[in-house]
């Protein structure tokens, strides 16, 4: 961590008139060409503002969606340029390509403190393939390289990994740095560490379950993945979303926790419904009856998990406790969210749906750190090296 060159150091050595290529995450949701949530644009501002103030010529690059190497207008970053300009309170020009003569001209026209946003990196197949020539073409636009795209730091792409091999002066942006600092608290926790994991699938989160079961003092499981764990114990699960081919994995995770003297908590009561729909009849049970499915943790379970949150000194939460999109099945997630917010622990919450739940309840400012990168944050707390970070350390 300490070996990662900081933005402070880069700026201190002087970036005035230098072309600084900044990889950010502007992968915003769009509907009909309008940005429906600009959280990611806002998250990129601190680093960009500092570079502008230092007189750099700022070259901003990002991906948007999954155009799979093809130029697809619905994935153009063009609509993001005016929003970025508005939030920065500065002009932002837009360039139709991220490499080649057009990009070179746009960058050469920049004066100190001016900003150009390049078109979607993923319009070129070389981006996700981490193609060396594509990485070099990007590097031709750069005297310095700053990575501030934490959400894609777990991918070795040309703009997150390859480019760093061809630019001498590199740095981590403020967002990337802050994410690593906060998530490191989960890797090296003040104990007890409570990890609350939920969401849809064991298979999505198997690696993090395996890594955290022996590491967390308490691992509390909710969401649909809980039923695979209950099935592994031989408990009735009715029609709940169980992954039969993950039952053995769940057993292994439970054994790993036990062998390490950790506690793995599963729901002891459930909200069940006959189907996942707002108008479905639901009730609270301690054993899931035939023909019913678990759609939320029950009130006793939520109280147990909340009590653990109150005792924890470090807390990591990823994944809702039930189908929180439906109000009748959102109580478990809401109760856990309130307990996390009320806890005096250092609290870190990651995952798109988990953040949505926190924000819906207006609890965002009572969480120590809201991680912007779902997959990247899970990989980092597991102790994996992120290629986008390793590239800066080299
Ligand atoms: P995050 O985005 O926070 O990482 P996930 O994407 O892993 O979370 O999981 C969120 C999804 O899991 C939500 O759409 C939610 O409806 C679903 N889910 C949670 N509990 C259940 C359940 N008991 N049955 C079916 N789906 C569930
Ligand atoms: Mg999700």
pLDDT, one tens digit per residue, over 244-275 is 999 999 999 999 999 999 999 999 999 999 99
> In the predicted model, what is the mean pLDDT of residues 295-307?
98
Nearest of 217, 214, 164, 180 to residue 195 by alpha carbon:
217
pTM of the model: 0.90
Catalytic residue among 201, 251, 252, 366, which?
A: 201
Return left, alpha or beta for 115; rule: phi > 0 is left, psi -120 to 50 is alpha, else beta: beta
- Residue linked to tokens 């993001």: 80
Q: Which two tokens stand for residue 384?
A: 């994996």
Q: Which of 1-5, 38-42, 289-293 has the highest mean pLDDT?
A: 289-293
Residue with tokens 């969480």: 367
Ligand nearest to the CA of 323: 1
Closest residue by CA, ligand 1 atom 24 = 224
What pLDDT score does 373 carry? 84
Give the pLDDT confidence score for residue 358 in this predicted structure. Answer: 94
Give the separation between CA 104 and CA 98, rounded to whole angstroms.
9
Establish whether residue 320 lines the binding site of ligand 1, counting it when its CB lies within 6 angstroms of any ligand atom. Answer: yes
Q: Which two tokens stand for residue 274?
A: 């006959």
* Burial of 52 per CB tally in 10 Å (0-12, 13-18, 19+): buried
Could you tell me which residues come within 8 angstroms of residue 328 by beta carbon, excluding any fewer than 6 positions away?
271, 273, 278, 280, 282
Is residue 2 over pLDDT 70? no
Q: 225 with 199: CB under 8 angstroms?
A: yes
Substitution candidate for ligand 1 out of 151, 320, 361 with most atoms within 8 A of CB: 320
71 contacts: CB under 8 Å, gap ≥ 6: 123
**298 dihedral zone (left: phi>0; alpha: psi -120 to 50; beta):** beta
Tell me which residue of 166, 65, 143, 57 sits closest to 108, measured CA to CA: 57
Closest alpha carbon to 152 in 189, 122, 119:
122
Q: Is residue 238 among the annotated active site residues?
A: no
In angstroms, rounded to a whole number, what is the distance separating the alpha carbons of residues 237 and 287?
8
The two structure tokens encoding residue 47: 């680093």
What is the pLDDT confidence band of residue 37, given thresholds at 50, 70 and 90? confident
């Amino acid at each position: 961590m300490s070996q990662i060159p900081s933005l402070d150091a880069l700026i201190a050595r002087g970036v005035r008139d230098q072309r600084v290529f900044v990889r950010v995450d502007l992968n915003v949701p769009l509907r009909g060409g309008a940005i429906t949530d600009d959280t990611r644009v806002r998250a990129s501002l601190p680093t960009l503002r500092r570079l502008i103030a230092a007189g750099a010529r700022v070259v901003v690059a990002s991906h948007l969606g999954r155009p799979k190497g093809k130029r697809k207008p619905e994935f153009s970053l063009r609509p993001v340029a005016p929003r970025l300009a508005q939030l920065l309170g500065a002009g932002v020009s837009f360039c139709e390509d991220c490499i080649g003569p057009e990009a070179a001209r746009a960058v050469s026209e920049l004066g100190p403190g001016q900003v150009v946003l390049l078109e979607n990196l993923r319009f070129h197949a070389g981006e996700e393939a981490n193609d060396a020539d594509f990485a070099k073409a990007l590097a031709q636009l750069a005297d310095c390289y700053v990575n501030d795209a934490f959400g894609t730091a777990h991918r070795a792409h040309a703009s997150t990994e390859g480019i760093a091999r061809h630019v001498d002066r590199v740095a981590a942006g403020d967002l990337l740095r802050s994410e690593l600092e906060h998530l490191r608290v989960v890797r090296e926790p003040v104990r007890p560490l409570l990890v609350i994991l939920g969401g849809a699938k064991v298979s999505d989160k198997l690696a993090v379950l395996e890594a955290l079961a022996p590491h967390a003092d308490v691992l509390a499981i909710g969401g649909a993945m809980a039923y695979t764990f209950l099935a592994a114990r031989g408990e009735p699960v009715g029609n709940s979303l169980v992954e039969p081919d993950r039952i053995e994995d769940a057993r292994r995770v439970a054994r790993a926790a036990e062998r390490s003297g950790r506690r793995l908590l599963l729901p002891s009561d459930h909200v069940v419904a006959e189907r996942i729909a707002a108008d479905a009849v639901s009730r609270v049970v301690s054993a899931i009856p035939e023909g019913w499915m678990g759609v939320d943790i029950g009130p006793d379970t939520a109280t147990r998990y909340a009590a653990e949150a109150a005792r924890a000194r470090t807390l990591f939460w990823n994944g809702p406790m039930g189908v929180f999109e439906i109000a009748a099945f959102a109580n478990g997630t809401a109760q856990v969210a309130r307990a996390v917010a009320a806890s005096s622990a250092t609290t870190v919450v990651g995952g798109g749906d988990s953040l949505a739940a926190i924000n819906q309840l207006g609890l965002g400012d009572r969480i120590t750190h809201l991680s912007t990168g779902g997959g990247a944050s899970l990989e980092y707390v597991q102790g994996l090296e992120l290629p986008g970070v390793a590239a800066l350390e080299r």
